[in-house]
Structure 1
Amino acid sequence: MQELKIAFVSAPYRCFDKNRRGGKHPTNGIMILGGDILDKGLVDDVKIFDGAFFNSLDELTSAVRDYNPDIIGIPGYTDSMPETKTLFENMNNIPIKITGGPYSSARIEELLEYTDVVFIGEAENSLRSFMTLIHQDMQPSEMQLKEIKGIAFKTKEGEIIKTERSPVVHDLDSISFRGRELTVDYFPYYRIANYRHLSDNFTSIMGSRGCNSSCIYCCSNLMHGKGYRFRSVENLEEEIDFINRLRKYQGLPSLESIKFDDDDFFAREDNEFFKLCEMLASVGVTFTAFASVNASNENKIRIASECGMRSVFLGVESHEGQRSYIGRGSKGDFTDEEITQMLELCREHGIKTSAGYIIGFPQETIGDINMTIDAMIHIPVDYPTMNILTIHPGTYLWKWQQNHSELYPDIKDNPFTHVDRKKWPGDPDGLCSPHPELTKEDLSRLKTKAYQKAYTDPERIYRLMKTARTPQEAMKTFFAFNDYYSLAVKER
C-alpha cells in the first residue's frame, strides 16, 4: 500500500476583540489527534497546518494542496465556520474529508454536505478505529463504518447514519503527546497575550478535560461529558521534558511559561494540586490557567503563586442575581463577595487576575445588562473582558432559541442553516442577535460602554500601578492595560 498521509488543518480563528492583541499557538485538538495516530502507527505521515500562522486563507490553502494528503481533517468551530467550509470546498482533490469539534458535533447534517465523516465529541478512540480501517482499505464499506463508535456519515442513498456515542478517554495519560513534533516549525512564532504576564517562550498544555458545571452557553458537556478527568503530574512532566528536547534541537531556549487550557486548574484534589505546582516550580516555568472561585482557597493560591502562577482567568459571566441561572452548577454558585475575596488573595500573592463577562442572554433586561456592567467595574478584577453572547449549536441556549424562534425576527421566517456573515454581520459574526429584542448594534454599544467605564476607572488604574513589583512587570501591565483601553476608546 502507498504511503498514507493526513493533514490536520485549523482555520484562522476570528477573535471577537479584534483590536486586542491576543495569543497565538497551535490548536491543541488537532495537535493531540495527529500525534496520537502517528504514535500508534496508524498513518505514515502527518502534517499540521494551523491557520493562525498563515498570512491568508489562500496561503493556507496552497500549502495544504502542495502537501497533497490522502485525508484532510478540519475541526468545526462557530467562529471560523465560513473559513472551514471554504477550505473543504477548495480541497476536492483530497479523497477523504473528516471533521469534528463542537460545531461539527452539533451540526452533523450540515457538515456532511461537504465532508465524508463527522467525529462526535472526543475523537481519539473513534479516530484510532477509523484510521485502522483506512489503513486496510481507503474505501471502507458502510457496514464497516457502522462498527465505529462516535461518528456520522452519509450512505450512497443519502441516509445519515449516526453511530453509538464513543466513550470519553478516561485515561488521559494514554494519549500521546507526539503531536509536539508536528508543530516545531511554529515554536519561534508563539505569542502570549500581554494580560497573561508570561514569556513568549511558552506553550499551551491540556492538563485535564471536562467540567462540573453545565453553563447554558457552553459546549464543554457536549464534547467531554460532565465531570473532571486529570492527567497525572508525571505525564505532564514528561510532556514538558519532551517539548524542551524539541526546542533544544531547534536551537531554542527551554520553556519559560505554560498556559493551561483546563476548565478549572484548581479543581484537582489538594495533594495532587500541590504535587503539580511543585513539579512546575522544579522545571522552572511560570504559568497561567483558568479557575473557578469554588475550587480555590488561600492555601492553593499561595502555593500556586510560590510555584510560578502569574495570572488566572475567572468566569464571572454576569451580575450576582442571574449568575446561578447562567452558570448552572458550581461555577454559578458564588457571590460577588466570594469573588472579591479570591481576587484580594490573588493580589496579595502577586497573581494578576482577569475575568470574563457576557451580555445578551435572551431573558436579560437592559437593567440586567447595566448591572453586569456595574459588576465589571466594581468587582476588583485587574483585566475584565466583556463579550456579546454567542449562542453555539449544541448548547442549552441553542435549543431554547430554536424552540422560541417566533421571538426572533431574524429567524422566525428564515431558519438558521449555516454561519452567514453577509446575512448577519457584526458581533457575534454570522449569527443573529442572541437577544430577541436588542439588536447587535444595541449590544455593541453596551459592550463599548462597559469597556469605557472599566478602563477609565481610576481605582482599577491605581490598583494595577501600585501592584507592579518590577520594571518588567510594570511594562507588561502597561501593555496589557493599553490593549484593553484601545477597546474603550475605539468608538468614542
Structure 2
Amino acid sequence: MKLLLITASAHEIRQIRKTRVINFQQVTMPYLAALTPANWEVEHIDEGQERIDFNIEVDLVGITFHTPSANHVYEIAAEFRKRGIPVAMGGPHVSLLPDEAENHADAVFIGEAEDTWKEFLADFENKQFKKRYEQKNPSSLINLPMARKDLFHRRDHSGGIMFATRGCPNKCEFCALAIMYSSNFRKRPVAEVAREYGSFEGKVIIFWDDNIAADPNYAKDLFKAIAPYKKWWSSQTSIHAGWNDELLELAAKSGCKQLFLGLESVSQISLDHANKSFNRVEDYYKIIKKIHSYGISVQVGIIFGFDEDDKSIFGKTMTFLEAAGVQNATFNVLTPYPGTPLFKRLESEGRILTYDWSKYNGRRDVVFKPKNMTCDELLEGFKRVNSQFYSLKSTGKRLSKSTAGLWWTLPLNLSYYFSYKLYGPK
C-alpha cells in the first residue's frame, strides 16, 4: 500500500518564513514514516520545499499542521477526499480542536501517536478504521526508530533534525504544550539518542526539543554521550540552564554553538501574569553573560502584547537586547492558540477578535484586543523591533558585546538584514 505524508504550510506562513533565513524542518513526518510497517511505501511532501501533486496515486494521505495552516489543510483534505483518497490528520491544531478537524478528515489523531498510528494502519488495512484515535497514556520513548533520513527534503543549513526529550515541565498561560502533552516532560534513553545523533552524516544537528535541559542530570549525561562525535548542535531550553556551570561546560564541550531561551518579555509583571514567573528579568544579563562565557551564542524568543505591555515595551526590549549582546532573536505577537488557558481567558473577556485561524500566525495579524495599546500599535511596534534588531547599527552593537559564535552569527545577522529588506512587511 502507498502512503503520502504531508508537512503542511499555508502560503501566508511560507511568505512570513522567508524573512527568517533559516527554517528548520519538522521531524514529525520522517519519524512517523519510521513507525510505519514495511509493507507500506511512504512518500513525504514538505510544503516548505515542494508543491502537492493531487493526482498522485496513493491509498492514504496523512497531514500534520499548526493552527495558522488549518484552513489551508482543510482545502487540501477536501481535494484528496474528492478523489476518493482517505485523509488522516494530526498535529498541534488537531489535538487542540479535534471536533473541528474531524469534520474535514476520515480519521484524526489526538495527542501522541506512537501507538495509535500503528493501530490505525492495521485497522485501515482491515477496512474498519475509526474516526478518532486518542492515546490516553504517554508513549514510551524507549527503543524508538530513527527518523527516515531520506524523507528530510528541506535545505535548512542543518545536517540532521532529531529529538531527545518531549514536552516541558512548565505550564505557561500562552503555551499549547501542556494541552498536547498532558504527561509533561519525558526523555529518550541517552544511548539511543547518541546513536541517532552519530548516525547523521552532516556536521550541524538540531535538537527539536522544547526544553532540552529541563532535567539537568539527564542533559549532562546526554552531552557527555554525544561529545565524541565532534558535531555542532543547537536546541531550546529554559533560562534555568544558564545558572548551571557544569551543564554549560559539558554543552560547550559536546559542540553546542547556540541555545534558544524563551525569555518572552523584559517585563516581570507580564511574566508573572503569564505563569512564567520563574523567568526573572533581573537575572537576564547575568545568565546571558554566563552562557556567552562558554562560547555559546544566545537566541531569545520575545512576545509582544501581554496585558501589561504598552507602547514603551518595544524600546525597552531593544535596549535590553543590545546591552546584553543577544546574537539572534525571534519576535512574535502574542497569539492565543485555541484550547490554551490564554485563549479561554481572552474569550471569556470578550477579547477574541477573529476565529479565522489563518490570522493566528503571530507575525502579521493581531487576533485579540490588547489592553494598553491598539492592534495597529502592537503590530507596528512588532514590525519596528524586527527591522531595528537586524539593522546594521544594532548588529554592530549587539555582536560587539561577545565574540561567541561571531564567525557565523555575523553572516547570519547580515542575511537577516537583507532578507527583512526584501521580504519584511512594508
1:266 to 213, 222, 241: 213
CA distance in 2, matches of 1:227, 1:113: 29
Within 5 Å, give how 1:139-158 maps onto structure 2.
139-140=128-129, 145=130, 150=134
Q: Structure 1: give runs of 5+ residues left out of the alignment.
A: 55-59, 151-164, 193-199, 245-253
Question: Deviation of residue 316 (structure 1)?
Answer: 0.5
Alignment of 1:46 onto 2:37: no
Change over 3 Å in CA distance of 1:281–1:311 after alignment to 2: same
TM-score by length of 2: 0.87
After TM superposition, the structure 1 = structure 2 runs for residues 213-228 of structure 1, keeping only pairs within 5 Å, are: 213-228=170-185
CA displacement 1:162-219 (0-9 Å, x = unmatched) = xxx52121x2123322x315416x2xx5323xxxxxxx4x111111001111111111
Q: Which one of the candidate residues 274, 279, 283 is aligned to 2:225?
A: 279
| Identical residues among aligned pairs (%) | 20
Counting only pairs closer than 5 Å after superposition, residues 65-464 of structure 1 correspond to structure 2 as 65-66=55-56, 68-91=57-80, 92-136=82-126, 138-140=127-129, 145=130, 150=134, 166-169=136-139, 171-177=140-146, 179-183=147-151, 186=153, 189-192=154-157, 200=158, 202-241=159-198, 243-244=199-200, 254-270=201-217, 272-296=218-242, 297-325=244-272, 327-328=274-275, 332-362=277-307, 364-368=309-313, 371-405=316-350, 407=351, 410-411=353-354, 416=355, 418-420=356-358, 428=363, 432-433=367-368, 435=370, 438-455=373-390, 461-464=396-399
The one-character-per-residue Cα deviations of 1:361-417 (angstroms, maximum 9, x if unpaired) are 345433455544544444432223321122211211111222222x45x45xxxx2x
Q: Distance in 2 between matches of 1:299 and 1:128?
A: 41
Q: Cα gap change, 1:123/1:373 in structure 2, threshold over 3 Å: closer, same or farther? A: same
For structure 2, which runs of at least 5 residues remain unmatched after alignment?
none
Paired position in structure 1 for 2:36: 37
The answer to whether the 8 A contact 1:73-1:97 is kept is: yes
SS at match of 2:332: strand
d(CA) in 2 for partners of 1:434, 1:484? 30
1:237-292 per-position Cα deviation (integer Å, ceiling 9, x unaligned) = 22234x44xxxxxxxxx22111111111222342x323321222211211111111
SS of the residue 1:333 aligns to: coil
Cα distance change on mapping 1:393 and 1:491 into 2, 3 Å: closer
Separation in 2, partners of 1:24, 1:265: 17
Q: What is the CA distance between 1:463 and its match in structure 2? A: 5.0
TM-score (norm: length of structure 1): 0.76
CA distance in 2: counterparts of 1:149 and 1:97, whole angstroms? 13
Q: Report how far residue 360 of structure 1 moved.
A: 1.6
1:476: which partner in 2?
Answer: 408
- What is the Cα-based RMSD across aligned positions, in Å? 3.0
Structure with bigger gyration radius:
1
Count of residues in Structure 1 that have an aligned counterpart in Structure 2: 419
Aligned to 2:3: 6
Distance 1:419 1:466, change over 3 A: closer
Distance 1:29 1:427, change over 3 A: closer
Q: What is the alpha-carbon distance in structure 1 between the residues aligned to residue 316 and residue 386 of structure 2? A: 14
Task: Give the whole-Å Cα distance in 1 for the aligned partners of 2:289 and 2:310.
Answer: 31
The separation in 1 between residues aligned to 2:271 and 2:374, in whole angstroms, is: 25
Secondary structure, aligned partner of 2:240: coil
Is this contact kept in 2: 1:301–1:349, CA < 8 A? yes
Change in 2 beyond 3 A, CA 1:216/1:226:
farther
For residues 364 and 230 of structure 2, the distance between their equivalents in structure 1, rounded to whole angstroms, comes to 40
Query: Contact 1:209 / 1:228 at 8 angstroms: preserved in 2?
Result: yes
**In 1, distance between residues paired with 2:406 and 2:321?**
23
